Amino acid sequence: MDTSCLFTAALQLRGPWKVGSVDFRDAGDGGRGLHIMIGFEPGVRFHCPETGCRGAPVRCMTRGSACGDT
């Protein structure tokens, strides 16, 4: 079982959610931090929190803020 599948199971994520990547990084204070990127299956549609539209396509997102309809 690869690391992404292991963490997806450990976090009990259900589709379309999944762990995209897992890595350890230097924390700068001599320690290390565990970074887990949560993603979703391509083409999935979600409920839009702004308009209430159901089945809205996902827009390009960067660190939690929309970057436009590209």
- pTM, 2 dp: 0.62
What angle (nearest 5°) sits at the alpha carbon of residue 4, between those of residues 1 and 27? 125
DSSP state letter for 41 = -
Tens digit of pLDDT for each residue in 8-67? 999 999 988 999 999 988 888 888 899 999 988 888 888 877 787 878 777 655 555 444
